[in-house]
């Protein structure tokens, strides 16, 4: 037999043997899994359907991979889809837990929502949802209880001082905004110029959804005609679609600059994303990006990109440090979906973003850090108050100097130390005679 044929037969035999071993192992695991399912169905005190057991098994496997991989089915998948599509069925208010009282509190009603029409105000405490006390309830659980199909009702009891206000709210389709300006005009549209600083534009990006890049492009294009500087607020923005972050970064770069790169398992380079020359905001106009401890993922792509290329300076706190990419993969004919971490992403400079990578090396260099002299420490109470301030300004249809019944005055920009620092920095650059 010729040597070449012998080698081919040997290689084929090895491959076949390896495939056989893999197949046997998979069959063994499948057999063990089936055995456990059968045991649970027969002996478990609580009866569960096959669908529930399947969902729980997949959820456990995904959670065991990393903190960002997940399985969605039923209501959870519907909520996840709505977030990306930027709409949901709900009552229309921003809520959070006030660290001073540890109570679920209205940050601000959304204009033209069931909550606003019911007269609910910033600072009202959410005491009960459909008769269930919110004491000890997480923010996420409360949100899920108040969301639901449109035209269905939920009864919410609010506390305002000594008064209890019980309201029956009919859910409607609530758009999830991608962006906000500094304050609303009387017609509910946004004013993207900072109050008292008309030369400075302000845009807050709340999330990176399917429509975000187009929304930002339109606003930035308009601001390029009316402002000499821009503040991009990415605080508390936990991310979203990487594609949106890449498209937004591109609005501020005038050539072929690396925006971000992704690497697969083992550090193998997967892709590099570059800007083109279709920038929208003038290259000589200064840009400031605001970040804090909850700015993550897509927020870090934008802020790291603009910082690395000297296109923007960063003010605030060190960001969260989420440097991984997740793909959304439908399964079971769309009944469910898995969010699977498939790659890591890296700054244009090649520096690491992911917190876990840095901590594994014993370091603290992750995410995006403010430029020298522009870091501001914020405690939990200040963080909550700053969020409430921004939400309250966003909920007002026109400036108002009278307090509401919770004693809340229209907050001033100077109440936000991070924004104040950014304004001071830009005013120095815009002052007559400032160095170019």
Average of per-residue pLDDT across 318-332: 90
Average of per-residue pLDDT across 226-237: 96
CATH, residue 211: 3.90.226.10
Same-domain pairing of 318 and 299: yes
Catalytic option among 275, 295, 297, 319: 297
Q: Which residue has the higher pLDDT, 177 or 396?
A: 177
| 108 domain residue, yes or no | yes
Q: Percent of the chain scored above 70 by pLDDT?
A: 85
pLDDT at 8: 45
From 114, 141, 175, give the residue that closes a domain.
175
Beta strands of 264-397 (E only): which ranges? 269-274, 287-291, 313-316, 324-331, 336-346
Of 26-30, 64-68, 139-143, 394-398, minimum mean pLDDT range: 394-398
CA torsion 29→33→39→41, rounded to 10°? -160
**Cα distance between residue 381 and residue 90, in whole Å:** 28
From 148, 175, 202, give the residue that closes a domain.
175
Same-domain pairing of 124 and 243: no
Same-domain pairing of 324 and 416: yes
Helix (H, G, I), strand (E, B) or coil at 291: strand
Q: Where are the alpha helices (DSSP H) in 251-406?
A: 298-308, 355-360, 380-395
User: Would residue 322 show up in a list of annotated catalytic residues for this protein?
Assistant: yes
Same-domain pairing of 151 and 203: no
| 22 domain residue, yes or no | no
Of 53-67, 220-234, 389-403, 414-428, minimum mean pLDDT range: 389-403
Same-domain pairing of 282 and 165: no
What is the 8-class DSSP label of residue 66? Answer: -
Whether the per-residue pLDDT at 75 is higher than 90: the answer is no
pLDDT at 229: 98
| 42 domain residue, yes or no | no
Same-domain pairing of 227 and 243: yes
Q: For residue 282, what are its two tokens? A: 């003038």
pLDDT at 332: 80
| 98 domain residue, yes or no | yes
Same-domain pairing of 169 and 287: no
Average of per-residue pLDDT across 52-74: 86
- The C-alpha R_g of the chain, in whole angstroms, comes to 26
Whether the per-residue pLDDT at 4 is higher than 60: the answer is no
| 62 domain residue, yes or no | no
Confidence category of residue 436, pLDDT binned at 50, 70, 90 = very low
CATH, residue 121: 2.30.42.10
pLDDT at 406: 57
Same-domain pairing of 185 and 323: yes
pLDDT at 146: 95
Q: Percent of the chain scored above 90 by pLDDT?
A: 50
Average of per-residue pLDDT across 324-334: 85
**pLDDT tens column, 351-399:** 989 998 888 778 778 899 999 999 998 888 888 888 877 777 766 544 4
| 361 domain residue, yes or no | yes
| 405 domain residue, yes or no | yes
**pLDDT tens column, 234-278:** 999 999 899 999 999 999 999 899 999 999 998 899 999 999 977
**pLDDT tens column, 123-134:** 899 999 999 999
The domain of 326 spans 179-430
Same-domain pairing of 288 and 162: no
Same-domain pairing of 236 and 356: yes
**Cα distance between residue 334 and residue 337, in whole Å:** 7
Same-domain pairing of 267 and 121: no
Long-range contacts (CB closer than 8 Å, 24 or more residues apart) made by 329-335: 335/73, 335/77
From 129, 154, 175, give the residue that closes a domain.
175
Catalytic option among 178, 182, 249, 322: 322
**pTM (whole model) above 0.85:** no
Average of per-residue pLDDT across 25-42: 79
What is the 8-class DSSP label of residue 398? Answer: S
pLDDT at 15: 44
Same-domain pairing of 249 and 377: yes
User: Would residue 256 show up in a list of annotated catalytic residues for this protein?
Assistant: no
pLDDT at 397: 47
User: Would residue 308 show up in a list of annotated catalytic residues for this protein?
Assistant: yes
| Number of structural domains the chain divides into | 2
How does the average pLDDT of the chain come out, rounded?
85
Q: What pairs with residue 345 in β-bridges?
A: 262
Catalytic option among 55, 182, 233, 308: 308
pLDDT at 433: 61
pLDDT at 407: 56
């Amino acid at each position: 037999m010729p040597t070449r044929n012998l080698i081919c037969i040997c290689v084929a035999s090895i491959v076949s043997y390896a495939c056989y071993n893999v197949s046997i192992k998979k069959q063994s695991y499948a057999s063990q899994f089936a055995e456990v399912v059968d045991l649970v169905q027969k002996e478990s005190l609580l009866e569960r359907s096959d669908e529930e057991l399947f969902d729980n098994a997949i959820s456990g496997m995904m959670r065991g991979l990393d903190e960002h991989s997940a399985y969605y089915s039923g209501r959870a998948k519907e909520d996840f889809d709505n977030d990306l599509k930027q709409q949901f069925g709900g009552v229309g208010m921003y809520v959070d837990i006030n660290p001073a009282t540890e109570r679920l509190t209205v940050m601000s009603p959304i204009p033209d929502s069931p909550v606003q029409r019911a007269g609910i105000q910033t600072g009202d405490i959410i005491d009960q949802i459909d008769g269930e006390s919110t004491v000890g309830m997480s923010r996420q659980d409360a949100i899920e209880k108040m969301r639901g199909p449109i035209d269905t009702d939920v009864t919410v009891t609010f506390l305002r001082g000594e008064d209890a206000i019980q309201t029956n709210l009919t859910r409607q389709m609530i758009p999830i905004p991608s962006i906000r300006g500094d304050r609303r005009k009387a017609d509910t549209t946004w004013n993207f110029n900072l109050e008292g600083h008309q030369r400075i534009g302000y845009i807050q990006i709340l999330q990176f959804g399917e429509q975000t890049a187009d929304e930002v492009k339109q606003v930035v294009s308009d601001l390029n005609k009316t402002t000499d500087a821009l503040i991009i607020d990415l605080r508390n923005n936990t991310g979203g679609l990487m594609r949106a972050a890449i498209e937004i970064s591109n609005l501020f770069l005038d050539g072929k600059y690396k925006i971000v790169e992704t690497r697969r398992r083992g550090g193998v380079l997967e892709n590099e994303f570059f800007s083109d020359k279709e920038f929208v905001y003038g290259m000589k106009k200064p840009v400031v990006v605001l970040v804090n401890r909850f700015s993550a993922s897509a927020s870090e792509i934008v802020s790291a990109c603009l910082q690395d290329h000297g296109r923007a300076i960063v003010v605030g706190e060190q960001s969260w440090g989420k440097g991984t990419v997740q793909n959304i993969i439908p399964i079971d004919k769309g009944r469910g979906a898995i969010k699977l971490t498939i790659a890591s992403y890296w700054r244009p400079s090649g520096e690491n973003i992911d917190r876990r990578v840095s901590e594994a090396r014993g370091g603290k260099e992750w995410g995006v850090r403010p430029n020298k002299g522009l870091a501001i420490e914020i405690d939990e109470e200040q963080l909550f108050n700053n969020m409430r301030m921004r939400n309250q300004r966003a909920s007002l249809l026109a400036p108002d100097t009278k307090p509401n019944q919770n004693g809340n005055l229209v907050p001033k920009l100077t109440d936000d130390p991070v924004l104040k620092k950014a304004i001071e920095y830009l005013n120095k650059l815009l002052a007559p005679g400032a160095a170019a």
